[in-house]
Amino acid sequence: MSTPTRPRPAPLAAELTFVGRGLRHSRRNPDALVLALALPVFVMVLFVHVFGTAIDTAGTRYVDYVVPGVILLCAGFGASSTAVGVCEDVLGGTVDRFRTLPVRSAAVLTGHVVASLCRNLVSTALVVGVALALGFRPDATPLEWAAAAGLVVLVVLALTWVSAAVGLVARSVEAASAFSFLVSFVPYVSSAFVPTDAMSPWLRWVADHQPATPVVDTLRGLLTGTAVGTAGWWAVAWSVGLLAAARVWAGWLFRRPPRA
Amino acid sequence: MAAHSDPPAAIRVDGLRKAFGRRRVLDGVDLAVAPGTVHALLGANGAGKTTLVRILATLLRPDAGAAVVGGHDVVRDPQGVRRAIGVTGQHTSVDELLTGAENLRMMARLAGFDRRAARARADELLATFGLEDAAGRRAGTYSGGMRRRLDLAASLVAGPRILYLDEPTTGLDARSRLGLWQLVAELRDRGTTILLTTQILDEADRLADRVAVLGGGRVVAEGTPDELKRWVGAELLELAFASAADRAAAAEALAVAGARPPATAEPRVLQVPTDGSGDHVRHVLDRLAAHGVHAEHVTTRRPSLDDVFLVLTEPGGGRPAGDLAVAAP
């Protein structure tokens, strides 16, 4: 066994290594991968063919109405699974091992985030593909498509960083995975699946003021040409605010001294 | 405990304290580990072995005291410490979704090797640790012994001068344990300083140049394995009696021989330190017979860590210290 002289690490070596690790994990976790790919299909079929027949969307075809909501639902679910991966790394001792290395060990979170982004872009593309097959007819220009994609990236990044922070605080993998479950309920109380004016007054107030509504309204406007109003600004503000706050929170959680 | 300080110590710990809430885990630990030696840290569950290793690995900050590893202070210069150490934890932290080769390449990339050098380093370690055939399999499919070897290989990727092994053979079968012991001995022979925590006296005996016993948050004894064993007796003669009254009579008859109740607190058993020779055993039994006490059952066994603790924590210090250094309780 030879004793190598330790080379000087290249800039971003840790980040690149952890991103590679995250992508390998995404490919090799069959349960999560199948779920991430099957969920969009199930949800889309469920909403368009089961619920859609009973929901009145005031002249808009339901399939055109619901696609942005399904995009958000799936992206939210996919992003929030990051909490499980991070939690497993913490509880399994992997994070401790990285912490004993002379590298920026917080880059392990960056690896999880980039992997989540890649997974969710694939899954979003799948949602759109299934939607088109089921009769979704967007009228977006290439610029509008790009803007919609940009918003999805921003939302996924924000939700993934929140999940990473949750993964760091969770004391069990079960708790971390309960978070994914809860996040997937957020779009239901928004304009994602039914117009908010059909809701009771206080629920409508919640729906109108929570971040999922401006995100969905913006995506819908970009893809199908409905009115966006100020929703676009709200969507960006919510996403950037959440992203910044979660990034700081996760960084703090990672650096704080461990409990035991 | 400044013995063996002729070359500067690879690890030096002074008055280290750490509490979790009200629970004081380390209460003034002093330790010096000479470069190129294996130093075993013995202690029961909860004695603070892992806490000490975590502080020395820069994973925990001490409440008070100082620890210097490879010339770097663990609090002021953690990155310096991290460049000097390799750590293998109590629970293996190999990445189960990656193959053995990928695990090692990842560690090499993190250590700053470029892609080609990382591949070469991984291949070299896989060969050294007998994992070539399993290199392309996911670590999640490895046996316990293979995981330990991979974990140890991962901690050696960057060629650390100082290696921490936290209970490295827990859960390993006899063959894997022997293999691991051999690897540790080879590493030491190549000049690596090794801090080994274990609950197994035999493991410390085989591997360690010196042994420190942790108890009550302090180092309660420190010396070579031979010194430790001399302290307890090379072997223990266990005498079982028909009743507690018989045992009391026997204890009186054998007081000069160092008889004491066992750590397990069985009411009818006495232990006498022995060299295991027929002469000594006959001498003890003759003495019992002369006092009219009958032993129902006689066995000899090697002392365990429990026995060391019993002696070390005995009120008044029990037997003379001999050449074993004993810290004040």
Domain definitions of chain A by residue range: 13-255
pLDDT range class, residue B81, cuts 50, 70, 90: very high
Bridge partners of residue B198, in order along the sequence: B42
Distances (CA, A) of B98 to A25, A108, B128: 8, 15, 19
Q: Does A14 touch chain B (CB under 8 A)?
A: yes
pLDDT range class, residue B316, cuts 50, 70, 90: very low
- At residue B233, the pLDDT reads 67
- Asked if the model's pLDDT at residue B8 lies above 70, the reply is yes
- At residue B304, the pLDDT reads 66
Identify which of B278, B281, B269, B279 has the alpha carbon closest to the alpha carbon of residue B239: B269
Q: Which H or E element spans position A241? A: helix A231-255
What are the residues of chain B with a beta carbon less than 8 Å away from any beta carbon of chain A?
A: 20, 57-61, 79, 82-83, 85, 87, 89, 91-93, 95, 97-98, 102, 106-107, 109-114, 117, 121, 124-125, 128, 138, 154, 156, 158-159, 186-187, 190
- Closest approach of chain B CAs to the CA of A246, in angstroms? 24
Q: Which H or E element spans position B87? A: strand B85-88
- Asked if the model's pLDDT at residue B238 lies above 80, the reply is yes
- At residue B260, the pLDDT reads 75
Joined tokens for residue B73: 């202070």
Ramachandran region, residue B139 (left: φ > 0; alpha: ψ -120 to 50; beta: rest): alpha
ipTM confidence score: 0.85
Joined tokens for residue B251: 């204890």
Q: What is the interface size between A and B, counted as CB pairs within 8 Å?
A: 91
- Asked if the model's pLDDT at residue A11 lies above 80, the reply is no
Distance CA(A258)–CA(B174), nearest Å, equals 35
Identify which of B257, B203, B251 has the alpha carbon closest to the alpha carbon of residue B228: B203
- At residue A48, the pLDDT reads 86
Q: Does A31 touch chain B (CB under 8 A)?
A: no
Say if CB B172 and CB B182 are below 8 A apart. Answer: no
Joined tokens for residue A154: 């921003």
Q: Which amino acid is at B218?
A: R
Contact between A6 and B60 using a beta-carbon 8 Å cutoff: no
- Domains of chain B (ranges plus CATH)? 11-94+142-229 (3.40.50.300), 235-301 (3.30.70)
- At residue B150, the pLDDT reads 93
Q: Does A104 touch chain B (CB under 8 A)?
A: no
SS3 B169: coil
- At residue A4, the pLDDT reads 58
- B10-49 pLDDT, tens digit per residue, is 999 999 999 998 899 999 999 999 999 999 998 877 788 9
SS3 B299: strand
Measure the CA dihedral B148/B154/B159/B163, to 10°: -50
- Asked if the model's pLDDT at residue B5 lies above 60, the reply is no
Least CB-CB distance to A13: which of B20, B112, B190? B112
- At residue A1, the pLDDT reads 54
- B249-286 pLDDT, tens digit per residue, is 888 888 877 777 776 677 889 888 888 888 888 989 99
Distance CA(A179)–CA(B314), nearest Å, equals 52
Distance CA(A51)–CA(A45), nearest Å, equals 9
Ramachandran region, residue A71 (left: φ > 0; alpha: ψ -120 to 50; beta: rest): alpha
pTM (predicted TM-score): 0.82
pLDDT range class, residue B99, cuts 50, 70, 90: very high
Least CB-CB distance to B113: which of A7, A99, A103? A7
- At residue B67, the pLDDT reads 96
